[in-house]
Structures are given as structure tokens and as C-alpha cells.
Amino acid sequence: MRLSRYFMPVLKEDPKEAQIVSHRLMLRAGMIKQQAAGIYSWLPMGYRVLRRIEQIVHEEQARAGHIAMLMPTLQSADLWRESGRYDDYGEEMLRIKDRHKRDLLYGPTNEEMITDIFRAHVNSYKDLPLTLYHVQWKFRDEIRPRFGVMRGREFLMKDGYNFDLTREDALHAYNRHLVSYLRTYERMGLQAIPMRADGGPIGGDYTHEFLVLAETGESEVFYDSEITDLKFGSRDIDYDSVEQCQAVLEEFTSRYARTDETHDEALFNQIPAERRRVARGIEVGQIFYFGTKYSEPMGATVVGPDGQRVPVHMGSHGIGVSRLLGAIIEASHDDKGIIWPEGVTPFHVGIVNLKQGDASTDSACEALYKELKSQGFDPLYDDRDERAGAKFATMDLIGLPWRITVGPRGLAANKVELTSRRNGQSVELSPQEAVARLKEIYQPVFDAAK
Ligand code: 5CA
């Protein structure tokens, strides 16, 4: 993309409405625009990151054997009357009447609808296990939408639902989701810690939230500091293996880590004092096992091996896709702007032309831009007629992890500068070497998608 032809309305001033750094930087970098309280347009830069995050989510869901589909945003109230949640859900549910005076709602989650799909089409235990998911907009009429996309009213969620014959099978599905979520968040450059939590309106008493530690997080968390040493890394897990998934769950959940909803002071105090941590975290996902809470009242049964019909065991599993942009920025920024992890960056590398209009500098930038594209990169070429300082400030604000600076002085020696946004360090390389270096840097990111 050439910046001169792009749409990236960066703001010079700090927006007054933003209380936390991710909200401020998303507005300043021209990623989002508020349309109403807690409702945002995703401008091109924000939309790019949203899609990268969504793509990682899809890839990791496929790896775990989960099946993608798409359900509508509007749902019939009748379905929710069957589960009893139409009345229970309260004011967070946006209720709508159509022209025939039928009650609809903008879905805050999809347990009822997926259960309805299941009961219409699945009849036998032989069709299990089954996990279906979608990535779709949700609406929750939050009393205090705030912090930009972190607590929106309309937000993008990945929500998945498992259907199993027995409790044991459903617990394997739970563990499988935990493993796949660890891998998903690490690909986004995040450490998200699974913590025992509360079922809330979704239900079930077996549930973990995934929390990214950040001062601005809305949840208070209590944990054993040893847990922050755990990395999922590039392990090769067989998602069908009950033992392997169980082992990962045990490794990542055996140390104390809880949100304030389930915090137990006596248990916490058994951790050696120097390892006790009280901090704040951003909830970027939650997994639930809730047994037959929806299948029983809604009649989602299968014929079991003995010929008897039994309600299926279910769980649901959510990732806050749009919230993740805020969480990643909270975890990765400095006073100049965002620092995108390579896995989610909107563009892999920025090219800064120090002397726009100078024939040889322009043509070196053009050649580099074309070469990067032909090698599978998404470069952002700042070809605007601006001062170098302004170009650098923009690059720092939007946070591309790598920048190549091209100017006449370096070019005289066939050199450009490759700079890391994270530590500011630069190396002088020939344009070909810079491309080769970027290939090495991004190889693990491209490999992780395989
Ligand atoms: N049906 C279940 C799992 S699929 C469910 O709805 N779970 S949830 O309520 O925990 O939501 C899943 C994730 O969506 C949360 O972990 C959080 O990251 C994100 N989320 C929830 N509310 C909001 C909100 N108001 N704004 C942005 N993201 C949100």
C-alpha cells in the first residue's frame, strides 16, 4: 500500500474522550471511529488488524478440528424463552420488535441458536463429537461502555460450541479449547493466563477466563508468579489425544490463578509470599463446560449406544476478537505509539522515503516495494511529500514492527536502514539484504500459520 493513496486519518492531538492508552492510540492512528457509545466503525488500519486476528483465530480453530459456520446477528426471542434466558438476561440484551410485532434480539451470545441447529439436524451419538463455531458481531447493552473496543456494546467475538455424548468427552473438548487458545494468543504475541472464573449468565461452574496482565485491566487477579514462566511455544499437540490435552491443562492450571469472582484468600496464602501476585488483567477469552443446561430444556438429545435418547453435554468457548486489539496495544506500546507484534501487524514493514521526488531515491523505494510484495510481504510505503521527522513520527505511532529507511546518502553506498520499532536499533544493509533479513524475521510467523 502506498500511504499517499491510503485512508489513514491520524490525529495530531490526543483525543479527550480516551482514558486508556489503547483507546487513545487506536483513535490517533486512525484505526476506529466512534459512531455511538460503544459502537465503532473500523477504519482501514483497524480493519486490517481485526482481520489478521480473526485469521489467526480461524487457523487455530481449524487446527483443533472445529468447524466454521455463520449464524445471524438477530435472533428470535422464542428460542431464548425456551432456555429461560429471555427474562433472565436483563437489560444487557437489546430487544427489538419487527413490523409484525414479533420479538427479536441482537444476539449477545449464541447458545440457544446453536442448540436449535443441533437438535434439528443431529440425531445419533455417532455424529459426535461435534464443535461448531463462528466469528460474528455481538451486542450487549453495557451500562458503561468504555475504553474503546475493550468494552464495546457491539463487538466481534469468536464463539464455539461443543456437543458430546458424555461429560468426559465434553471435558476433553474443554481441554482442547484451552490448548488451542494458548496457541492462538501466543501467535498474537500475548501471554494470556487461564484463571478459574465464574460462569455468569452463560452458566456452568467449570470455567476459565484467559487474562492478559495489564494495569488498565478491568478484572482484579490473584496468581502465583510461577505461572508467568509458562510458555506454550511451538509444541505439536494431537488435539484428539485426551492425555496430551489433559497434560497441558494441568500444566497451565495447577498453579493458583483466579479472578476476584473465585478468589480464595486461604488458598492464596498457601503460596510462598514472594510468589503471590495481585494485579489487573484484561479478559480476552473464556471457556465453559455447562453440561445439559441448554440441551435439556431445549430437547437437544441424541440416541445413545443403548438406543436411549439422552441430552448432549455442551460447553461454549469465546474469544474477544475486537477486544484483542485493545489488549495487544495495552501490552505492547511506548510513549511514541503502538508496537505491533509481527503476528498481527497491519503491514509487515514500512518504507520511508527520505527524499520524495529525488529520482534515484524514488526508484529505489519503488523497487524495494515491488520486491517485498513479490516475496509475500505487505509493505506500507510512505511516499508522501513530507518531512522525514513527520514520516518517522507516523511510523512510530502506527507501530509497524519494522521500518526500512531509504535516502540518497545511504543509496550512494547501496545501503538502506532496517530499524526495529521495539528497540529502535538500526542496521545498514543493501536493499536485497534487508529483504532477506525480513524473510528470516517473519519466517516463524508464516510457519505458525501452516
Ligand atoms: N458464549 C460464551 C462463550 S462463546 C460467551 O459469551 N462468553 S463471554 O461472555 O465470556 O464472552 C467471550 C469474550 O468476549 C470475553 O472473554 C471477552 O473477551 C469478549 N467480550 C465480552 N464482552 C465484551 C464487550 N462488551 N466488549 C468487547 N469484548 C467483549
Question: What string of DSSP letters covers 103-171?
Answer: EEEE-S--HHHHHHHHHHH--BGGG-SEEEEEEEEEE---SS-BTGGGB-SEEEEEEEEEEESSHHHHH
- d(CA 321, CA 201) in angstroms, rounded, equals 20
pLDDT at 148: 96
Query: Considering only CA atoms, which of 106, 122, 23 is closest in space to residue 71?
Result: 106
- Encoded amino acid at 360, one letter: S
Cell of 434: 534487508
Terminal C-alpha separation, the chain:
25
User: What is the CATH number that goes with domain 349-448?
Assistant: 3.40.50.800
Sign of CA dihedral 163, 165, 166, 169: negative
3-state secondary structure of 267: helix
For residue 234, count CB atoms less than 10 angstroms from its CB and return exposed for 0-12, middle for 13-18, buried for 19 or more. exposed
The answer to whether 275 and 226 have CB atoms below 8 angstroms apart is yes
Measured from the CB, is residue 66 less than 6 Å from ligand 1?
Answer: no
Ligand 1 centre distance from Cα of residue 323 (Å): 9
Q: Any idea which fold 7-338 has?
A: BirA Bifunctional Protein; domain 2 (3.30.930)
pLDDT at 303: 98
The answer to whether 77 and 95 have CB atoms below 8 angstroms apart is yes
Measured from the CB, is residue 202 less than 6 Å from ligand 1?
Answer: yes
Which residue lies with its CA nearest to atom 22 of ligand 1?
151
pLDDT at 204: 78
pLDDT at 202: 82
Low-confidence ranges of the chain (pLDDT < 50): none
User: In a mutational test of the pocket of ligand 1, which residue from 149, 323, 324, 328 has the highest number of ligand atoms less than 8 Å from its CB?
Assistant: 323
Question: What string of DSSP letters covers 387-441?
Answer: -HHHHHHHHHHHT-SEEEEE-HHHHHTT-EEEEETTT--EEEE-HHHHHHHHHHH
- d(CA 214, CA 199) in angstroms, rounded, equals 23
For 57, how many CA atoms within 13 A lie in the half-sphere containing its CB?
25
Ligand 1 centre distance from Cα of residue 325 (Å): 14
pLDDT at 199: 84
Domain map (residue ranges) of the chain: 7-338, 349-448
The answer to whether 378 and 55 have CB atoms below 8 angstroms apart is no
Q: What is the pLDDT of residues 392-415, one digit of tens each?
A: 999 999 999 999 999 999 999 999
CA dist list (Å): 159 to 86, 96, 102, 200: 19, 22, 26, 16
Cell of 97: 420488535
The answer to whether 417 and 404 have CB atoms below 8 angstroms apart is yes
Count of C-beta atoms within a 10 Å radius of residue 224? 17
User: In a mutational test of the pocket of ligand 1, which residue from 112, 163, 190, 286 has the highest number of ligand atoms less than 8 Å from its CB?
Assistant: 286
Nearest atom in ligand 1 to 284's CA: 18
Ligand 1 centre distance from Cα of residue 156 (Å): 9
Which residue lies with its CA nearest to atom 19 of ligand 1?
320
Ligand 1 centre distance from Cα of residue 320 (Å): 5
CA dist list (Å): 292 to 14, 55, 196: 49, 31, 21
Average pLDDT, the chain: 97
- d(CA 84, CA 289) in angstroms, rounded, equals 18
- d(CA 404, CA 193) in angstroms, rounded, equals 35
Sign of CA dihedral 150, 153, 154, 160: positive
Residue linked to cell 489467526: 56
Which residue lies with its CA nearest to atom 12 of ligand 1?
318
Measured from the CB, is residue 159 less than 6 Å from ligand 1?
Answer: yes
Nearest atom in ligand 1 to 287's CA: 3
Measured from the CB, is residue 115 less than 6 Å from ligand 1?
Answer: no
Ligand 1 centre distance from Cα of residue 319 (Å): 7
Fold agreement between 7-338 and 349-448: no
The answer to whether 176 and 190 have CB atoms below 8 angstroms apart is no
Q: What is the pLDDT of residues 189-248, one digit of tens each?
A: 999 999 999 888 887 779 999 999 999 999 999 999 999 999 999 899 999 999 999 999
Query: Considering only CA atoms, which of 408, 392, 414 is closest in space to residue 357?
Result: 408
- d(CA 27, CA 15) in angstroms, rounded, equals 7
pLDDT at 205: 78
Ligand 1 centre distance from Cα of residue 163 (Å): 20
Measured from the CB, is residue 211 less than 6 Å from ligand 1?
Answer: no
Measured from the CB, is residue 198 less than 6 Å from ligand 1?
Answer: no
- d(CA 283, CA 327) in angstroms, rounded, equals 9
pLDDT at 127: 97
Nearest atom in ligand 1 to 145's CA: 25
pLDDT at 176: 98
- d(CA 298, CA 82) in angstroms, rounded, equals 6
Sign of CA dihedral 66, 67, 69, 71: negative
Q: What is the pLDDT of residues 46-91, one digit of tens each?
A: 999 999 999 999 999 999 999 999 999 999 999 999 999 999 999 9
User: In a mutational test of the pocket of ligand 1, which residue from 93, 157, 288, 324 has the highest number of ligand atoms less than 8 Å from its CB?
Assistant: 157
- d(CA 391, CA 382) in angstroms, rounded, equals 7
